[in-house]
């Protein structure tokens, strides 16, 4: 601002000097003064434009970088499954099908070990939770090995009750009926059974 005041004062001094001199000199001096004044405004406008263009460029660059970062993160975000046993995380799996394959394998192992029984895996306490994260560290093999050691099975069948007491568990109702008939035949003599059938 001080520079502009100085230039105006100089212009006034020159105008007063030119008023004393001839008219032709005054016209040429006014032309020079106008051109100097024009260049000063042009320089100020250039300065303002450069700041505006710089700010716009910075905003555009920031927008492009943020958009690229979001796309990169979205491209590297993966879905995985947390495996929880009784509410505690024991590991992570890449795919839920891996857990189902482990269940099938373990079920077959127990069925081969106990072929005359219907075996059921205890999976009630095992839950999975789907999660998404940026480049998660998933070790499916370690998780499956931990689960393999934890999975237990139990036999499903019909419980035999005699006088209100459980005496055993058998595979199905037919087997239970056959066992009861065998017990009856063993403890009840044949003659009583024959006379009982004649009475009825």
Convert the pLDDT of each residue in 49-62 to its tens digit: 888 888 899 999 99
Asked if 135 and 179 sit in the same domain, the reply is: no
Distance, in Å, from the CA atom of 154 to the CA atom of 169, rounded to the nearest integer, reads 12
Report pLDDT for 26.
46
More confident residue, 116 or 193: 116
Of 179, 78, 86, 180, the C-alpha closest to 131 is 78
Question: Is residue 95 located within the same domain as residue 165?
Answer: no
The stretch 92-114 carries a mean pLDDT of: 90
Q: Are residues 88 and 131 in the same domain?
A: yes
171 plus 150 within the same structural domain: no
Same-domain status, 28 and 66: yes
> Which residues, listed in sequence order, are joined to residue 161 by a DSSP beta bridge?
166
Q: What is the pTM of this model?
A: 0.51
Same domain for 14 and 63: yes
Q: Are residues 183 and 147 in the same domain?
A: no
Question: Where does a domain end: 27, 56, 73?
Answer: 73
Where is the domain boundary, 73, 90, 106? 73
Residues 170 and 182 in one domain: yes
Last residue of a domain, one of 23, 55, 73: 73
Residues 171 and 106 in one domain: no
CB-CB contact of 53 with 110 (8 Å): no
Do 9 and 58 lie in one domain? The reply is yes
Q: How many domains does the chain have?
A: 3
The whole-number pLDDT of residue 199 equals 53
For 9-41, write each residue's pLDDT tens digit.
666 666 665 555 544 444 444 444 445 444 455
Domain that holds residue 143: 77-155
> Based on the domain organization, do 87 and 139 belong to the same domain?
yes
Q: Which ranges of the chain would DSSP assign to H, the alpha helix?
A: 2-20, 23-75, 96-113, 140-150, 173-187, 190-199
Mean pLDDT lowest among 62-71, 118-127, 164-173 = 164-173
Same domain, 82 and 120: yes
Kindly report the average pLDDT of the chain as a whole number: 77
DSSP codes of every residue in 164-196: TEEEEEESSHHHHHHHHHHHHHHHS-HHHHHHH
Question: pLDDT at position 101, please?
Answer: 92
Q: Are 154 and 110 in contact (CB under 8 A)?
A: no
């Amino acid at each position: 601002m001080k520079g502009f005041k100085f230039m105006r004062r100089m212009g006034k001094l020159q105008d007063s000097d030119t008023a004393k001199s001839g008219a032709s000199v005054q016209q040429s001096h006014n032309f020079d003064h106008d051109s100097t004044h024009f260049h000063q405004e042009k320089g100020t406008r250039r300065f303002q434009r450069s700041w505006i263009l710089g700010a716009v460029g910075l905003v555009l660059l920031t927008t492009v970088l943020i958009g690229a970062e979001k796309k990169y993160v979205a491209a590297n975000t993966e879905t995985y499954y947390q495996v929880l046993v009784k509410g505690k995380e024991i590991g992570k799996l890449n795919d839920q099908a891996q857990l189902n394959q482990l269940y099938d394998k373990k079920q077959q192992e127990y069925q081969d070990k106990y072929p005359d029984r219907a075996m059921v895996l205890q999976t009630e306490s095992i839950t999975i939770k789907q999660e998404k994260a940026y480049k998660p560290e998933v070790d499916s093999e370690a998780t499956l090995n931990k689960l393999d050691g934890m999975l237990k099975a139990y036999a499903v069948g019909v419980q035999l009750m005699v006088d209100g007491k459980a005496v055993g568990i058998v595979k199905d109702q037919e087997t239970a009926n056959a066992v009861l008939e065998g017990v009856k035949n063993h403890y009840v003599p044949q003659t009583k059974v024959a006379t009982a059938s004649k009475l009825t």
